[in-house]
Structure 1
């Protein structure tokens, strides 16, 4: 097939066998160097670092610098973590010591606090359940409880049973005592739940530091147990 004739802008004819073309090529886009984006994360640092890789040597240099930076951050983090752990341990020790000191001072009888019978809300020995309730409310205050302990501790006694019996006789008459035993068994009321029990035990221990709580509780149990017999022996109820 005979090639088509191309007409130039000047309408000049050219040879049938020759095609004169003008090829214009556009400039290629610039070559972008590859980039590596590394995100560095640590407890205190959160940044993005961009490395332009010109040569393999440059890439290795940046990698070494990055590794060194990460190692430094990790070392700092571990140092801070150890310091915080040490501080937390010290704080826990201080809190425990404060609890022990608070417990010691709260439970320690204060011999400087003294009460007399006129300071009591109702006369003793207590004779009725209503009197006992009023006195229990009175002993809910730490200062008043310690003052009452100090008062009872002066009653004396040669040993734990005699000291305990003196104190129990001072605070309860037999008519009220017969309604109680130590644990509230056999349809009786529980003396162990009363503030009065705390006062009796602390008073005996204050007067006799060698006494144990178990010995005092045993003496209280015996005294309460024999309250009906004492009433019968006396031939009348105490009022």
Structure 2
């Protein structure tokens, strides 16, 4: 009998030990699961950070290589359509163009608008455009390049209205033919 009592005592001791160790095991398992979830979260964050860094690096390199002035001034309808497609489809190029054109602007709103137009549009192309497309000309105000000009001007002249920006551009476009004729006369004299 003593052996049976001993077995019963040892089995009851192991049962007690098991019951005592069960909360500890649960605690450890809970902590391990919690740790695993945190590690997974850290890993996801790390991947997002690495992805963001690679995108930012790519965009920085892309900005360094964008030279908007290589395409300017626009001389033909083909040049203009190519630029319009670029501005419509490539927001990075569009933003970089606005950023670079801001450097051309000055404190005087009228002068800023005229400088931008001289840089962007050649007279040969400007003769085909008016602000609203009157007199059988094309509508300048609907072009993406017009919106880029407006954005560039507004970076320095924050409170400028559409009318204040468009007024010097309308005049500049209207006098494109005269400028072309003057260029022709000047080149004939030389």
Q: 4+ residue runs of structure 1 moved beyond 4 angstroms?
A: 112-118
Equivalent residue for 1:151? 100
Aligned residue pairs total: 127
Instruction: Calculate the TM-score normalised by the size of structure 1.
Output: 0.48
Equivalent residue for 1:166? 115
Unaligned runs of 5+ in 1: 1-111
Q: 1:205 to 1:197 in 2, by over 3 A?
A: same
Contact 2:66 2:93 in 1 (8 A): no
Q: 1:153 to 1:115 in 2, by over 3 A?
A: farther
Take 1:117 and 1:135, find their aligned partners in 2: how far apart are those partners?
Answer: 17
Equivalent residue for 1:194? 143
Compute the RMSD of aligned alpha carbons: 2.7
Take 2:92 and 2:103, find their aligned partners in 1: how far apart are those partners?
Answer: 17
Which one has the bigger strand percentage? Answer: 1
Take 1:154 and 1:146, find their aligned partners in 2: how far apart are those partners?
Answer: 13
Equivalent residue for 1:125? 73
Unaligned runs of 5+ in 2: 1-59
Bigger relative contact order (CA 8 A; separation at least 6): 2
SS in 1 for 2:73: coil
Pick the structure with greater CA Rg: 1
Contact 1:138 1:144 in 2 (8 A): yes
SS in 2 for 1:210: coil
SS in 1 for 2:133: coil
Take 1:122 and 1:135, find their aligned partners in 2: how far apart are those partners?
Answer: 11
1:64-103: CA deviation from partner (whole Å, max 9, x where unpaired): xxxxxxxxxxxxxxxxxxxxxxxxxxxxxxxxxxxxxxxx
Which one has the bigger helix percentage? Answer: 2
